[in-house]
Chains A and B, each alone.
Chain A
Amino acid sequence: MNLEKITPEELVDGFMVPAHLTDEQRRTANLQLANVRQKRMAERSQQEKLYGQLLQLKIQMEDYIRQDTYDPKKSFSHFLNSYIELLQKKKNEVASELAIHKTKLSQLLSGHREPSEEIFIRLELHSNRFIPAHHWFRLSVKKQEHALMTNSSLRNRERAHVKAGIELAL
């Protein structure tokens, strides 16, 4: 069906048909938009900024969770550090809000302690359910999976315990 025969309502549900602009018109249009946005950005509330920052953090977590690769820089502790930084709260304050000892929070933030299921759920509730527990959980699992797959000493040690295995051939 030709686009000319489609109703405007249907066009906007399935298309973005661009207007043709000359280079000069495009430069002017970009300038107009930049000016309008500059004003809007100056008027943003703290709540709006926090929402945007938390949404960015959540999206970055989701994108990393979906990746097949493991990146040690994007650990549970990395995202927990980012989360606390965005809230602009002291670590002691966050520890108190999560009802965990400040030493435990420090260990979680440094990666010296693995988080428990309770921590995942408390973080979900702390974020007003904005960042679900399973996001935090999957970050942790990704690290565990990498450790399992790359721990050759454990694999060698455990080999001694397997007395027999199945025979498998094509």
Chain B
Amino acid sequence: MYLLYIGVNPPAYVKAVIEPLTSSDLSKLTPRDFYFNWKDFEDTDLWKLRLQDSNEILAAMSLTGFPSESRIEINLIASRRNNVGPEKQYDRVAGCLIGWACRLAVGKYGVDACVSLTPKTQLINYYKNKYSMLSAGTQLYVDGPTLYQLIQTYIDHEPGEDNP
């Protein structure tokens, strides 16, 4: 998968990887760098995103699986503080992590796969617009062709298939 490096003109795709977060990684996810107290999410399924040629964690994600509903819920995604605001260098961070959650869901639940999240109310429309999510009352969700499309856009996408 690829992030979009916007620190150059024109922007360029750079290879990224998503891996399970280890217990030693967890201590690096300080509120100072990653905004939230990630130790509160210790019992969830934790993932980290990094550039392929760097060990620095760029973002982290917490998931919970609901096998009886063929669903994975995204509890939290946060970028490293130095990739936010005026200092931001990489785009597609949350997209790649959401795409990864979709890929995990299809790998486990196949055609019934669903990914859901419950964002703050003021952000609901933004998630709907950017990731084509649908509303089911309080929660947003994605399934079927829209979910497959997120995998295509953020995980399977190869540079050269389009221009940044």
Q: State the A residues within 8 Å of B (CB).
A: 1, 3, 5-6, 8-19, 21, 25, 28-30, 32-37, 40-41, 44, 48-49, 51-53, 55-56, 59-60, 63
Nearest chain B CB to A20's CB is how many angstroms away?
9
Assuming the contacts A1-B85, A37-B69, asked whether A29 and B78 have C-beta atoms less than 8 A apart, the reply is no
Name which residue of chain A comes closest to B134, CB basis: A36
Contact B91 A13 (CB under 8 A): yes
Contact A29 B118 (CB under 8 A): yes
The 8 closest A-B pairs by CB, nearest first: A52-B111, A32-B137, A14-B79, A1-B85, A16-B77, A56-B110, A29-B138, A36-B136
Chain A interface mostly: helix
The digit string for B113-129, where 1 denotes a CB below 8 A from any CB of A, is 11011111111001100
11 A-B pairs (CB sep. < 8 Å): A3-B35, A6-B85, A8-B126, A12-B130, A12-B131, A14-B79, A14-B83, A33-B139, A37-B143, A41-B112, A55-B148
B21 sits at the interface (CB 8 A): no
Contact A52 B93 (CB under 8 A): no
Contact A40 B144 (CB under 8 A): yes
Contact B111 A17 (CB under 8 A): no
Contact B78 A15 (CB under 8 A): yes
Name which residue of chain B comes closest to A21, CB basis: B118
Name which residue of chain B comes closest to A47, CB basis: B145
B18 sits at the interface (CB 8 A): no
B46 sits at the interface (CB 8 A): no
Cross-interface CB contact of A33 among B74, B76, B106, B137, cutoff 8 Å: B137
Contact A16 B81 (CB under 8 A): no
Contact B106 A21 (CB under 8 A): no
Contact B74 A16 (CB under 8 A): yes
